[in-house]
Amino acid sequence: MALLRVSKLMKYKMMNMKNNQENISVESGFTLIEILVTLTILTLTMPALVRSFGQAQREQALAENKTTALYLLKYQMALIESEGFPEIGSDSGEFGEGSRYTWASEIADVESEEVEGLRSISLTVIWQEQGKEKSISVATLVSDRQLPQQNQDGQQQNQGGSPSTR
């Protein structure tokens, strides 16, 4: 009796497995049409994705070049200003040996009846980008701090900034 029960149980499990296998083979997997549609979509979208990644990489390189040029511009301007009241003239140079960034500066007197001891500094950083010359410039004014300052009435003040006595 026990052997008969085990035999029926085994037979039931075997039939159940066959039914599950038939259900799995019919219901699982992709059809040929689904695979072809997926491949068509990938074929159409991949070139656009690859192009956009290439464009993003180029744009990132251009932004990096501009950022570097701005930092070098600030650095060179700080060097010029740290020397005190600059001498009139032009100068140029590189940022290190073999650098693709160069700079040029122009320092000139500013003619003014109201203010004396004023000079303009024009600084330009130049670099090559995609076969073209690119540049970024800045201009500022500096004054000679050694000259005595004048108050609004045109009278000179002492170095300490306190008004002179009459």
| pLDDT for residue 9 | 63
Amino acid at 45: T
Phi, psi of 102 (to 5 degrees): -125, 165
Q: Which numeric CATH code is attached to 53-143? A: 3.30.1300
Pairwise CA distance, residues 163 & 148, whole Å: 12
pLDDT tens digits along 79-134: 998 888 889 999 999 998 888 999 999 999 998 888 788 899 999 999 998 889 99
Three-class DSSP category at 92: strand
Task: Tell me whether residue 127 is exposed, middle or buried, using C-beta atoms within 10 angstroms of its C-beta: 0 to 12, 13 to 18, 19 or more.
Answer: buried
Section 18-38 average pLDDT:
73
The residue extents of the domains of the chain are: 53-143
Section 35-53 average pLDDT:
93
- pLDDT for 4 beyond 60: no
- pLDDT for 166 beyond 50: no
